[in-house]
A and B are shown apart, each in its own frame.
Chain A
């Protein structure tokens, strides 16, 4: 019985959660990509992952852009209901530091010794990692900063490096770009689950413009993702199958896709909070445990 309970306790096999959230585009008219990333950041923080476990990479500063009529804010919804910038954002890689090289170094851990802790992904073999990418993409690539690209092959190889160095337990990859499904086509490492906002050949569309600010505020997929996540709280038992249903074609215009064949567990048994939150399992014992008496080994399972 204790075995079952212990088994349940260690069901997912992870003990800590990390998140790597990347916005790859700059310029004022790509406001929505920064808003996307900050929305996911907000949800992930709210569900318990602390800043020390989040690597946030924003390629441009929208909140302090000269054209922002509401300085120091980034809104995700028109009528300015939700300021996702908040007042406790910690951006780890900012502006021109968001490059393909830095992103891959963060993932694989091959950073120079002088890199501060906040810029490192210090995950281990019991970490569940959420990786969220957004920006402008195409068939098989994602554009960084209007000057370089990362290809799906590079990404798959980086994940394989992570697997071989045992830098993750399970990894959830979400991408919101045009033709996003092409980015997870080449994955071959175990325990990877991927979601994308559109299939190859489709464009991901933006959600709504805000006339006062003068730009599109969010992309559709992330908008509905955020809506979905707002209903999740740390003790939710919503599982991944519901996440796959977020933003059907009627709302998104593009067809979101997902990939679970590399994942060892059944997605229906994977909780949303396994990746988006940092849930500490707490068991309250009603009986005292005598620690001075000798420990007896548990019978073999």
Chain B
């Protein structure tokens, strides 16, 4: 007879499971954590390689000559930007037209749910300017995008300068098979969102924008450039996008291949590459890089202007120029050549990038871990939940110990109903109450900000964040109050049923989250232990993140950062559809409240 259909064997298996439940769970937990930490160890990772045949190697001759002229254009841009106090639309249109592009503008406006620290007002209005370089001989079916943000102050002037310099150079070449769109967006992500929505004729976030007059074909790849200095010491590649989406690994491989060919120092997560993987410090460096990537993905916000392209299945990455104190500097011409090389290779593409991985973690720019390797870590953690659930189920179904004197036939566990077992309805109450609290946490902070501002001397942003924290803490007080409402209060069985439901709920939640955004799983697993609540996990994550970036913060700064992270999360959800805030408020928080309930059951 089979292993599970033979009653004797089944009883033995179940017995072993219940007896060894805690040790197995502990082993699984440690194995899961060890597996995850082991992912950064270099022999367990794979070297990156170019998978797309059409892109081939870096076999191209870069001849961009005009770095200095590009920087001069950037300075002109800065001057005009200061004069107009925002985006110098007319100057940009004239300059792009002078370079032979088809220039169009797009106006957009957005009412923010509450003003955040950057904008300090409800209504954000802006203009995007973009110029299309038409491929000389090809039909207008495909396009590539190069974008640079128009940032206030002295930021990113050189990026716009190089963008215009490259536009001029590209215009005189005849080998483009795709249209190239040079985009200067205002207000960073908001402008980019408006442009993308206009380009693809979708309106998912309720923004108001004027329709785009000119279009290229379907966009195959996009690069966003951020450069704020005339010379750079390294180029940083930013991959994480909205909801933890990543571009195809081939884009990162292409970038790295050109960095090597041209001889520019390239980094990811701002961490310099190291060769000493077999030393402790080398390994911890790799772990830090990987953890930074995990945390950035978990935050579900786009970490560069490229992050919003990913939702439209356009592979995009941001390249940031970093100017630190190193002796070897790279000038603008070299940066221009690197971009020229990348665009010539992207020009050779016949299909969208699809040969390489879409889900990966990178302990460094040359090494990656694919989904097949990091999923087992999550699998082991999910196994713990399932084992616990199984254990509870067995305990609930088995007869109480006082009746074991009767030689119960093997079918006993399923037949005898429990004398004082509460029905399913009794746990419905805590479930409903937890979810209602979650809904309150999701909707009330933004809705009630005016009320809060009237009664308390705080700004709207602070009002929203503090309301959220207030509702959160109020939820903590629930178990004491809802006790009286519960029918099966205080019984052994009651809390077991609730715990079973909560554990299964958590398992399903983690499973679904792992599919969408793997990195969100790890903060959530703190719930496993039942004591790390989401709020504290977030606080800890903020401090940890700052440590990893080598900019540790004091307690007070950390607290302010924490508040701003919460407000940013709510804002991201309203503006771009980031899933972290609704996930946390509507699913994770009620789940955790259930566990909190169980803790105070007695």
- What residues of chain A have their CB less than 8 Å away from a CB belonging to chain B? 27-29, 64-69, 71, 209, 211-212, 214-216
Contacts and interface: CB of A to CB of B under 8 A. Distances in A.
A67 B348 contact: yes
B339 to A, nearest CB: 16
Contact of A66 (B54, B59, B135, B344): B135
Contacts of B275: none
A69 B347 contact: no
B348 A66 contact: no
Nearest to B136: A66
B347 A29 contact: no
Contacts of B529: none
Given A28-B348, A211-B61, A214-B348, A69 B56 contact: no
B175 interface: yes
Contacts of B61: 211-212, 214
A67 B54 contact: no
B159 to A, nearest CB: 26
Contact of B175 (A29, A66, A211, A216): A66
Instruction: Tell which of B53, B60, B175 has the most Cβ of chain A within 10 Å.
Output: B175
A213 to B, nearest CB: 8
B174 A28 contact: no
8 contacts: A27-B350, A28-B348, A29-B53, A29-B56, A66-B175, A71-B174, A211-B59, A216-B59
Contacts of B173: 69
The interface residues of chain A, by DSSP majority, are classed as loop
B347 A211 contact: no
B140 to A, nearest CB: 11
B113 to A, nearest CB: 46
Given A67-B347, A71-B174, A214-B60, 19 more contacts: A28-B54, A29-B56, A29-B348, A65-B177, A66-B135, A66-B136, A66-B138, A66-B175, A66-B177, A67-B175, A67-B177, A67-B348, A69-B173, A69-B174, A69-B175, A211-B61, A214-B59, A214-B61, A214-B344
B137 interface: yes
B175 A28 contact: no
B176 interface: yes
B196 to A, nearest CB: 26
Contacts of B175: 66-69, 214
A215 B56 contact: yes
Contacts of A28: 54, 348, 350
B139 to A, nearest CB: 9
B347 A215 contact: no
A71 B138 CA distance: 13
Contacts, number: 44
A79 B54 CA distance: 23
Contacts of A68: 175
Contacts of B53: 29
Contacts of B350: 27-28
Interface string B169-193: 0000111110000000000000000
Contacts of B348: 28-29, 67, 214
B56 A66 contact: no
A209 B175 CA distance: 17
Instruction: Tell which of A27, A67, A211, A212 has the most Cβ of chain B within 10 Å.
Output: A67
A34 to B, nearest CB: 16
Contacts of B137: 64, 66, 71
A232 to B, nearest CB: 32
Contacts of A214: 59-61, 175, 344, 348
B174 A27 contact: no
B349 to A, nearest CB: 10
Contacts of A27: 54, 350
A65 B53 CA distance: 18
Contacts of A29: 53-54, 56, 348
A211 B176 CA distance: 16
A100 B216 CA distance: 37
B59 A209 contact: yes
Interface string B44-60: 00000000011011011
Contacts of A66: 135-138, 175-177
B54 A211 contact: no
A229 to B, nearest CB: 27
Nearest to B175: A69
B459 to A, nearest CB: 55
Nearest to B62: A211
B174 to A, nearest CB: 6
A211 B177 contact: no
Nearest to A28: B348
B359 to A, nearest CB: 27
Interface in B369-428: none
A211 B58 CA distance: 9
Given A29-B348, A68-B175, A211 B60 contact: yes
Contacts of B136: 66
A65 B347 CA distance: 12
B138 A215 contact: no
Contacts of A69: 173-175
A295 B452 CA distance: 125
Interface string B577-589: 0000000000000
A276 B61 CA distance: 37
A28 B349 CA distance: 9
Nearest to B139: A66
Contacts of B138: 66
Instruction: Tell which of A68, A71, A209, A214 has the most Cβ of chain B within 10 Å.
Output: A214
Nearest to A26: B350
A67 B137 CA distance: 9
B268 to A, nearest CB: 27
Interface string B39-81: 0000000000000011011011100000000000000000000
Query: When A and B form their complex, which 5 residue pairs have the shortest distance between CB atoms, in order from nearest?
Result: A66-B177, A211-B61, A66-B138, A69-B175, A209-B59
A209 B59 CA distance: 7
A216 B174 CA distance: 19
